[in-house]
């Protein structure tokens, strides 16, 4: 008997909760900026996943016979069984004869991965530290001074240092970008916690004896989600650019993995003669970052209307 009534209540509250969540997404999807940015990002995601099926060849395959071809040139290449075939290189080839089109498409994987990973990791770490810092007052001063210290570390210099200690790779790059981003998330979460913990409903929960952890997850944490989604998009966009910079400088993703940054780095020397090596990855990079930022702006407008009016 009691089990039944409990079930009824639970399903009702879940239904209510899910309708609420749906309405938030429905609201976000009504914003043209979110749709515009979201569609471009979905296309990029599809490109990253479907890269092998989009008429690409092995992006690392070197072909000395067809170096530095301009976009649209028809080249002859050798297959594994020794026969030859012809195909058109859409975005040309680089100075080692690698197909730029394939490299740019495969490079999408690295960039999106970096963007998502950096945003997710720095938000997750920042959220925990921010909650602790905002709620446990005696820990606050200590934590925030450490965060101030972390913010003083420039991401690019940290990456150079890390590469010299470890080796260039995805993990190193992600780590180097995450470290200076975490304090920004911590500050955001802390500020939300500081204002919400003074709300009467939080004090009401304290006075009915709610344990601290329940209090944080039930009453405080949900308030941080909307600003974190917005902050996460901007972190992702910045991370993609930082990765491209690091790879361009040769301290990011190792050259055997194509990324937009190192494609551009390799095209740098012959930029005047063969601009396509930099043009195409550059377009993809700009488009992706623009799409994320537009979507982030749109999300901020719907999730945090107060802020959009101020800006």
Partner 1 sequence: MSEAKKPVLEVRNLSVSLPAGADRAHAVENVSFTVSPGEIVCLVGESGSGKSVIAFTVMGLLAKALKPTSGEILLEGENILAADESRLRELRCTRMSMIFQEPMTALNPVMTCGLQIDEVLETHTKLDAAERKAKIIAILDRVKLPEPERIYASYPHQLSGGQRQRIMIAMALVLDPVLLIADEPTTALDVTTQAEILKLIAELQAGEGTGVLFITHDFGVVAEIAHRVAVLRWGELVELGPTEKILSRPEHNYTKMLISSVPSIHPAHRGVRRDGTTVLRTEKLGKTYSGNAFFQKARVVKAAVDVDLDIRKGETLGIVGESGSGKSTVARCIARLIDPTEGKVFLGDTEIATMSASKLRPHRRRVQIVFQDPYRSMNPRITVGDSIIEGPMNFGLKRDEALARARNLMETVRLDPNSLDRYPHQFSGGQRQRICIARALAMEPELLIADEAVSALDVSVQKQVLELLDEIRVRLNLAVLFITHDLRVAAQICDYVAVMSKGRIVEYGSAEQVFGAPRDDYTKALFAAAPGRNWEFGKFAA
List residues near partner 1 by CB under 8 A.
2, 5-6, 9, 12-13, 16, 20, 141, 199-201, 203-211, 214, 218-219, 222
Residue (195 or 269) nearer to partner 1, CB = 195
Token duo for residue 118:
């950096």
Of 64 and 211, the one with the shorter C-beta distance to partner 1 is 211
Q: Which is nearer to partner 1, 5 or 83 (CB)?
A: 5
The contacts of residue 179 (CB under 8 Å, 6+ apart) are 150, 153, 155, 158
Q: How far is the CB of 234 from partner 1 (least distance, A)?
A: 25
Question: Residue 64 or residue 141: which is nearer to partner 1 going by CB?
Answer: 141
**Closer residue to partner 1 (CB): 7 or 74:** 7
CA dist 111 and 214 (Å) reads 37
Least Cβ distance, residue 3 to partner 1 (angstroms): 9
Sort 290 into a burial class: Cβ within 10 Å, 0-12 / 13-18 / 19+.
middle
In the complex with partner 1, which residue's Cβ is closer, 113 or 194? 194
Measured from the CB of residue 150, what is the shortest distance to partner 1 in angstroms?
18
């Amino acid at each position: 008997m009691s089990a039944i009534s409990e079930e009824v209540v639970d399903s009702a509250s879940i239904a209510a909760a899910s309708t609420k969540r749906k309405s938030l997404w429905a609201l976000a999807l009504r914003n043209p900026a979110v749709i515009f940015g979201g569609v471009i990002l979905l296309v990029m995601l599809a490109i990253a996943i479907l890269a092998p099926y989009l008429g690409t060849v092995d992006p690392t395959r070197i072909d000395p016979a067809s170096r530095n071809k301009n976009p649209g040139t028809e080249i002859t290449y050798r297959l594994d069984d020794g026969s030859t075939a012809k195909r058109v290189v859409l975005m040309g080839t680089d100075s080692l004869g690698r197909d730029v089109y394939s490299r740019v498409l495969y490079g999408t994987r690295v960039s999106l991965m970096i963007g998502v990973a950096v945003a997710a990791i720095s938000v997750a770490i920042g959220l925990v530290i921010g909650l602790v810092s905002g709620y446990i007052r005696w820990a606050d001063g200590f934590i925030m001074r450490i965060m101030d210290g972390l913010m003083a570390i420039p991401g690019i210099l940290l990456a150079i240092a890390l590469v010299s200690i470890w080796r260039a790779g995805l993990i190193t790059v992600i780590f180097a970008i995450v470290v200076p981003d975490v304090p920004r998330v911590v500050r955001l979460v802390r500020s939300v916690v500081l204002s919400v913990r003074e709300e009467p409903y939080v004090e009401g929960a304290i006075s009915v004896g709610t344990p601290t952890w329940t209090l944080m997850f039930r009453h405080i944490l949900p308030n941080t989600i909307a600003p974190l989604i917005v902050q996460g998009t901007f972190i992702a966009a910045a991370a993609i650019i930082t990765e491209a910079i690091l790879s361009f400088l040769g301290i990011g993703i190792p050259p055997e993995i194509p990324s937009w940054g190192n494609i551009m780095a390799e095209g740098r020397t012959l930029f005047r003669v063969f601009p396509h090596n930099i043009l195409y990855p550059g377009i993809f990079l700009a488009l992706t970052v623009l799409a994320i930022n537009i979507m982030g702006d749109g999300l901020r407008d719907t999730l945090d209307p107060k802020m959009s009016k101020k800006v």
